[in-house]
Chains A and B, each alone.
Chain A
Amino acid sequence: MNPSTTDAKARQAAPPPTDNPGPAAARPAAPRPRRPVFTGRRGLSIAAFMAPAALFVAIFVYYPMIAGGQMAFRNWNLNDLTDTSWVGLKNFKGILDDPVFYTVLGNTAVWVVGSIVPQFVIGFAIALWLRRRFRFRGLYQALIFFPWAISGFLIGILFRWMFNSEFGVVNDLLEKAHLIDTPIPWLADPKTAMTAVVIANIWYGVTFFTIMILAALQSIPDEIYEAAALDGAGKVRTLFQITIPSIRGTLALTVLLRVIWIFNFPDIIFGMTGGGPSNETHIVTTWMISITQQGDYGKASAVGLIVVAMLMVFSVFYLTATRERNGKTS
């Protein structure tokens, strides 16, 4: 995550600029010499170039975010704004005492793990198969990229219609295949609703893994594979001893980014079930939206801060774990 370390790493690792047009190598690597021409006005011009972006983000992103953060420690309910006093950790206590919070936490775990594992496996497989050139590869890549043009909210709506219990195409196909006899009320039944939203999310997210992993695969030099083939390494061995170790860094980073992102991604659920039935598909962020809609901004902000804290702890553990493993293999 830390851009300074990745920069430094890239600078150390990258060879001096060559004509190699590969995706990973096409980056000027050597530290640039200072340009004396600008020393006098350098600071000023940096500030002038950064100013518009900084102003916009400060006013419309950072200010509301920080203001929202402090609401977590205040009594801030839209239904009664007469008393907005500081209440310390009362909002957090209220959340920890709320049984829904634990349902929501469990749902979030199912949502994240249930989505990311299949996304990773399918995305990886497609990337491996796409490495080989074939006639319509470009078209194929463009087609499987399409889900990305659609908003999560609309994807929720699309799948809500397909999972409709009476007129939905999913039940119809399952009946035609003789897998079920009676229609399943997918989104109305607490037992199946989570499965349905996870399926929608898998559909949406596979492409991201394919794109990232394919780009990483293409940066592995062919010579390594040729050498492995000469040594008589089989396909499975090549995969586990060459391919995966070579792109471990990308794999680790991609998984981390996706976990953070899926954790924070209420759109599909919002469009598909709105968190129902009886809170069974609420994840922390959809729950936060419903609390906001009830007007309790203090509680909603506290949920938001809990999310941030959980993601930070997770990121630190994850980065430590993957770094150690990387160290052992290299």
Chain B
Amino acid sequence: MINKESTAGRAVRITFLTGWLIVTVFPLYWITITSLKSPGTIFSPSIAYWPEHFSLANYTGLFSKAQFGVYLTNSLVIATVAGAVATVISLLSAYVLARFEFRSKTALLMAALVTQMIPSFIALGPLYMLMTELQLVDNRLGLTLVYIAVCIPFCTVMLRGFFENVPDALEEAAMIDGCSRLGALFRVLLPVMQPGIIAAFIFNFVNCWNELFLSVTLMNSDANKTVPTALNGFISSFNIDWGSMSAAAVLTIAPTMVLFAFASRYIVQGLTSGAVKG
């Protein structure tokens, strides 16, 4: 597709791409290596790039000294429920926005996009007061509800793109064969869109899993903290224990990396379809 590449051009390309790959992977390598050093050797003047002795002490310490298991469970439950509910709700709104023409459609899409532009911190104070009145402060259900709402706008836009990639003819054929509109949605459209739906869920899950500021604002008791809130507690203390910190970071990053690896193709599709066609 592109004219032949010179040897020099090829060398430049390979060098650059390899270089960037190393730059990308290195911080992840580094935090993992740090977490596997025995606590004493992290703060040594000669830095080891490959430790002589590997140790899991930083990890075991997390679960014995801090309640890291509790934080992980909280994050897992909240992100799973919020991600799933937001995906289902967004499927409904995305379907309507993709398949119907109606007057307030542009306004609705704008309303979804505007939420991405306004700094969310403006809402933190009033949200805290609202949640206080609903008695949902420091409450896992409360944070889940907020996360659902925060995920919906972008998830709707993303799923709308996937719906538009499925030709109308598919549903029309099903409806001619006697399917109702809902039947056509559930039996014909959703199965075709499965990869897109999974990608949308993973995207929501990862966003909720990583979310910091809302969780810091709304959760204060140790039993209700999510992982990012706990990490924030680690760096707020005067002396950072980098051993525990790196182990906690690895445990936080690992699940989302695995999920992204599965879904990266579809997430890329969801992100790019909007901008490229515009």
- Residues of chain A having any CB pair with chain B under 8 Å: 1-4, 6, 9-10, 17, 23-24, 26-28, 31-32, 34, 37-38, 42-43, 45-46, 49-50, 52-54, 56-57, 59-65, 67-69, 71, 76, 78, 122, 125-126, 129-132, 140-151, 153-155, 157-162, 164, 166-167, 169, 172, 203, 206-207, 211-212, 215-216, 219, 222, 225, 229, 235, 249-250, 253-254, 257, 260, 264, 266-267, 270-271, 285, 288-289, 292, 297, 300-301, 304-305, 307-308, 311
**Nearest CB in chain B: distance from A187 CB, A:** 12
- The docked-state distance in angstroms from the alpha carbon of A9 to that of B259 is 35
**Chain B contacts with A in 108-160, Cβ cutoff 8 A:** 108-113, 115-127, 129-130, 145-146, 148-150, 152-153, 156
- CB-CB under 8 A from B148, the residues of chain A are 56, 60
CB-nearest residue of chain B to A25: B277
A6 engages B242 (CB within 8 Å): no
> Within 8 Å CB of B95, what residues of A?
49
Asked whether, in the complex, the Cβ of B277 is within 8 Å of the Cβ of A24, the reply is yes
A305 to B28, CA, bound (A): 37
The answer to whether B117 and A260 touch across the interface, beta carbons within 8 angstroms, is: yes
Is B121 a contact partner of A292 (Cβ separation < 8 A)? yes
Q: How far is the CA of A153 from the CA of B236 in the complex (A)?
A: 13
**Interface hits, B238-278 → A, CB 8 Å:** 242, 245-246, 249, 252-253, 256-257, 259-261, 264, 268-269, 271-273, 275-278
Which chain B residues have a beta carbon within 8 Å of chain A's beta carbons? 1-3, 5, 13, 16-17, 20-21, 23-25, 27-28, 30-31, 34, 42-45, 47, 89-90, 92-93, 95-96, 99-102, 106, 108-113, 115-127, 129-130, 145-146, 148-150, 152-153, 156, 164-165, 167-168, 175, 181, 206, 209-213, 228, 231-232, 235, 242, 245-246, 249, 252-253, 256-257, 259-261, 264, 268-269, 271-273, 275-278
> What is the CB-to-nearest-CB distance from A246 to chain B, in angstroms, rounded to a whole number?
12
A142 to B206, CA, bound (A): 16
**Are B47 and A68 neighbours in the complex by a CB distance under 8 Å?**
no
Given A50-B92, A63-B126, A142-B261, A162-B27 contact (CB < 8 Å): yes
Q: Which listed residue, B24, B152, B275, touches A146 by the CB 8 Å rule? A: B24
Give me 14 other A-B pairs in contact (C-beta within 8 A), A3-B106, A71-B126, A206-B20 excluded.
A65-B122, A126-B17, A143-B21, A144-B21, A151-B252, A157-B235, A216-B272, A219-B276, A225-B1, A264-B117, A288-B121, A301-B125, A304-B118, A305-B122
The CA of A147 and the CA of B153, in the complex, are separated in Å by 23
A154-B252 contact given A6-B278, A145-B260, CB 8 Å threshold: yes
Q: Is the CB of B121 within 8 A of A46?
A: no
In-complex Cβ contact of A250 among B110, B122, B210, B276 (8 A): B276
Given the interface pairs A53-B92, A63-B130, the reply to whether A216 lies near B164 with Cβ below 8 Å is: no
Q: Are B27 and A158 in contact (CB under 8 A)?
A: yes
| Partner pick for A308 among B20, B119, B210, CB 8 A cutoff | B119
Cβ B181 vs Cβ A225 within 8 A:
no
B107 to chain A, nearest CB (A): 9
Q: How far is the CB of B58 from chain A (nearest CB, A)?
A: 13
The binding surface of chain B is classed by DSSP as helix
A-B contact count (CB 8 A): 284
Shortest Cβ distance from B5 into A: residue: A132
Chain A nearest Cβ from B55, distance in angstroms = 17
- Residues in B with CB closer than 8 Å to A264 are 117, 119
Complex Cα–Cα for A206 and B21 (A): 12
Beta-carbon nearest neighbor of B272 in chain A = A215
A-B contact pairs, 24 of them (CB 8 A): A3-B106, A38-B181, A49-B95, A50-B92, A53-B89, A56-B145, A57-B152, A57-B153, A59-B149, A61-B123, A61-B153, A65-B118, A68-B126, A125-B16, A132-B5, A140-B17, A153-B212, A158-B28, A169-B47, A222-B1, A229-B3, A253-B275, A288-B119, A308-B117
Shortest CB–CB separation between residue A248 and chain B, in angstroms? Answer: 12
Cβ 8 A contact of B21, one of A1, A42, A140, A254: A140
Residue with the highest number of chain A CB atoms closer than 10 Å, among B112, B118, B253, B277: B277
Contacting A147 at CB < 8 Å: which of B24, B31, B119? B24
Specify the chain A residue showing the minimal Cβ separation from B28: A146
Nearest opposing residue in chain B for A274, CB measure: B235
Contact A132:B235 (CB < 8 A) given known A38-B181, A141-B264, A145-B268: no
Q: Choose among B16, B96, B153, B268 the residue that contacts A50 (Cβ–Cβ < 8 A).
A: B96
Q: Inside 8 A of A65's CB, which chain B residues have their CB? A: 115, 118, 120, 122-123, 126
* Least CB separation from A288: chain B residue: B121
Q: How far is the CB of A47 from chain B (nearest CB, A)?
A: 9
Interface centre among B127, B261, B276 (most CB of A within 10 A): B276
